[in-house]
C-alpha cells in the first residue's frame, strides 16, 4: 500500500472496458487513487499510484453502507483526504454521487446524478430550459395516460405521421428496455402486465428522424472535449430497417450542424451543473420538421468502444483530457489553463457486428478485413449462444476505420456491413 499522509486521493470505479485507459492516465500523471469494483475490473497493472484495490462484486444502493464502512476504514487507517469519487457506467452514477456527498468531496452529487439518470426529470428540466421535448408522461395513472393518448392523436394528426408511442424505463441506459407501440391497446396491455412498476415507466412520442450524439469531457459545466457522431440508423431500427450491426461515424466537426449539436448539448450542461465527468448526449433530428429532440443525456462515456473513435480524430484521448482537468483542480490551478481538445481534420467510424438472439455460428472472421484504413479491431465471439436482443450486448466483433474524408468512411462501413455474415439458429423454448 503506497501513500503519503493527507494525500488527496481519487476513488475510482474502473467499471467499463474503456475506463481502464483512465486508470493508466492516472498512473501517467501520478495521481493517487483507490480502485473499487469487481475482480474483473481490478485486473490492472500494479501502478505505483494505486494505494489499494477494494473488491466489491455487486455494488448497489442497498449495500452502499458496506462500501462506506470499508472505504472509511481505509481512509482513516492511512490518513487520506478523498478529493473525488468517479465512475463510468450508468449503473454506478448514483452510487458515486452518494459517496461524493458522504465524503464531502468534489464531483457529482445526488441531485445532479438524478437529472442524468431519470428520463422523466430530464424531460421536465429541458422543457423548463425552453428546449423542445417529445410529448411524454409517466404511466402511473390511467387518467394521465388517457390525456397523453388524446394529445398524441392530435400531434400525429398535425404532423401527418403514424400513431407511435415508446415506453422507456426511467433509469435504464441506452436502448435497453425500450418498447415501441402503434396502438393505444398495445400500450394498455403492456401497462397492465407491468402494473406494479408504472411509476418507473415513461411513455413518450416517437420521433422519426436521424440519430446523433455528442460525446464530451466536462469540468465545472464547461466542455473541454466535444465530438459529434452520426448514426446510420437509430438503434431501435437495427434488425428492422437495417442489419443488426451498429454503425456510427464522426462527421465534420466544424460543420454548421456539428456546431448546432454542440451548442444544444452545452445549453443542457450549463443547467445540469456537472462538476466533472464524461457525458453522452443523444438526440434525434425530426424528419418532418428538422427540430432537435433530446433522447437522453448521460453522465458516462459512450458505449461499445466509441471513445476509441474519438481518439482517432482528436489530438487527445478523452480519458487523458479528463485526467488533466482533475490534475489541474487538484493542484488548485485555474481550470481555464486547460486547452480544449482539437479536431485533427480526419474522419473515423466504428461498426459493431451484432445478431439477434440464438445460437450464432459460421461468423465472418474480421481478421480477414485488412483494409489499410482499419486502425483497430476486436473479435468477441467465434460461435455461441446469445440471449439478448440488445446490440450493445450481442457484439460479435468491432472494427474502427480512419479516413481523410467523410464519404470514404461511410462507404467503408457500408461495405463491411455487407461483407459480415453469420448463421443463426433460433432458441427453442
159 burial level (CB within 10 Å; 0-12, 13-18, 19+): middle
Closest CA to 11 of 65, 58, 61, 67: 67
The DSSP secondary structure of 21-65, one letter per residue, reads HHHHHHHHTT--EEEEE-HHHH-S---TTEEEEEE-SS--GGGHH
Q: What is the pTM of this model?
A: 0.93
**Where in the chain are all domains bearing CATH 3.30.470.20?**
209-425
**Residues paired with residue 292 on neighbouring β-strands, in sequence order:** 285
- Segments in the chain below pLDDT 70: 1-6, 173-175, 387-394, 429
Sign of the CA dihedral 409, 414, 418, 421? positive
CATH topology of domain 8-107: Rossmann fold (3.40.50)
CATH class of segment(s) 209-425: alpha beta
Contact 354, 242 (CB under 8 A): no
Domain 135-205 has CATH 1.10.287: no
At residue 15's C-alpha, the angle toward residues 11 and 16, to 5°, is 135
C-alpha grid cell, residue 180: 415501441
- Where in the sequence of the chain do the CATH 3.30.1490 domains occur? 135-205
* Beta carbons of 353 and 418 less than 8 angstroms apart: no
**What per-residue confidence (pLDDT) applies to 372?**
97
Q: What is the pLDDT of residue 393?
A: 60
Q: What is the pLDDT at residue 388?
A: 66
Give, in degrees to the nearest 5, the angle at Cα 195 between 191 and 199. Answer: 90
Closest to 296 measured CA to CA, from 227, 207, 190: 207
d(CA 69, CA 87): 19
- The pLDDT tens digits for 110-163 are 999 999 999 999 999 999 999 989 999 999 999 999 999 999 999 999 999 999
Residues of the chain with CATH 3.40.50.20: 8-107
pLDDT for 58 equals 83
Q: Nearest Cα to 75, choosing from 48, 52, 106?
A: 52
Are the CB atoms for 63 and 40 separated by under 8 Å?
Answer: no
pLDDT digits (tens, 9 = 90+) for 236-256: 888 888 899 999 999 999 999
Report residue 22 as a C-alpha cell: 483512465
Nearest residue to 14 (alpha-carbon basis) of 46, 48, 43:
43
Amino acid at each position: 500500500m503506497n501513500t503519503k499522509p493527507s494525500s488527496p486521493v481519487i476513488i475510482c470505479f474502473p467499471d467499463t472496458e474503456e475506463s481502464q485507459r483512465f486508470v493508466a492516465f492516472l498512473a501517467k500523471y501520478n495521481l493517487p487513487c483507490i480502485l473499487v469494483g469487481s475482480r474483473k475490473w481490478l485486473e490492472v497493472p500494479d501502478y505505483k499510484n494505486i494505494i489499494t484495490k477494494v473488491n466489491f462484486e455487486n455494488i448497489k444502493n442497498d449495500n452502499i453502507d458496506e462500501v462506506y464502512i470499508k472505504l472509511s476504514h481505509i481512509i482513516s487507517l492511512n490518513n487520506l483526504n478523498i478529493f473525488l469519487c468517479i465512475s463510468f457506467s450508468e449503473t454506478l452514477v448514483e452510487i458515486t454521487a452518494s459517496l461524493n456527498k458522504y465524503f464531502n468531496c468534489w464531483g457529482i452529487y445526488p441531485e445532479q446524478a438524478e437529472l442524468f439518470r431519470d428520463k422523466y426529470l430530464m424531460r421536465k428540466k429541458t422543457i423548463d430550459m425552453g428546449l423542445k421535448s417529445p410529448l411524454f408522461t409517466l404511466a402511473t395513472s390511467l387518467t394521465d395516460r388517457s390525456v397523453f393518448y388524446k394529445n398524441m392523436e392530435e400531434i400525429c394528426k398535425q404532423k401527418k405521421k403514424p400513431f407511435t408511442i415508446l415506453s422507456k424505463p426511467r433509469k435504464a441506459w441506452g436502448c435497453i428496455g425500450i418498447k415501441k407501440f402503434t396502438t393505444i391497446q398495445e400500450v394498455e396491455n403492456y401497462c397492465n402486465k407491468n402494473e406494479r412498476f408504472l411509476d418507473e415507466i415513461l411513455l413518450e412520442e416517437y420521433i422519426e428522424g436521424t440519430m446523433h450524439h455528442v460525446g464530451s469531457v466536462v469540468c465545472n459545466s464547461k466542455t473541454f472535449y466535444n465530438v459529434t457522431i452520426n448514426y446510420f440508423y437509430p438503434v431501435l431500427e437495427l434488425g428492422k430497417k437495417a442489419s443488426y450491426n451498429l454503425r456510427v461515424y464522426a462527421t465534420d466537426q466544424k460543420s454548421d450542424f456539428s456546431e448546432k449539436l454542440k451548442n444544444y448539448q452545452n445549453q443542457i450542461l450549463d443547467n445540469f451543473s456537472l462538476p466533472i465527468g464524461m457525458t453522452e448526449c443523444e438526440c434525434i433530428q425530426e424528419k418532418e420538421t428538422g427540430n432537435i429532440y433530446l433522447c437522453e443525456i448521460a453522465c458516462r462515456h459512450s458505449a461499445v468502444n466509441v471513445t476509441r473513435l474519438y481518439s482517432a480524430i482528436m489530438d487527445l484521448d478523452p480519458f487523458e483530457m479528463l485526467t488533466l482537468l482533475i490534475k489541474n483542480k487538484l493542484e488548485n490551478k485555474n481550470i481555464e489553463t486547460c486547452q480544449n481538445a482539437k479536431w485533427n481534420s480526419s474522419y473515423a467510424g466504428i461498426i459493431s457486428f451484432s445478431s439477434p438472439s440464438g445460437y450464432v455460428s459460421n461468423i465472418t472472421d474480421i481478421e480477414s478485413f485488412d483494409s489499410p484504413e482499419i486502425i483497430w479491431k476486436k473479435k468477441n465471439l467465434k460461435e455461441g449462444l446469445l440471449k439478448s436482443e440488445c446490440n450493445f450486448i450481442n457484439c460479435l466483433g468491432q472494427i474502427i476505420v480512419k479516413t481523410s474524408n467523410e464519404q470514404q468512411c461511410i462507404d467503408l462501413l457500408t461495405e463491411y456491413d455487407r461483407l459480415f455474415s453469420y448463421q443463426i439458429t433460433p432458441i427453442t423454448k
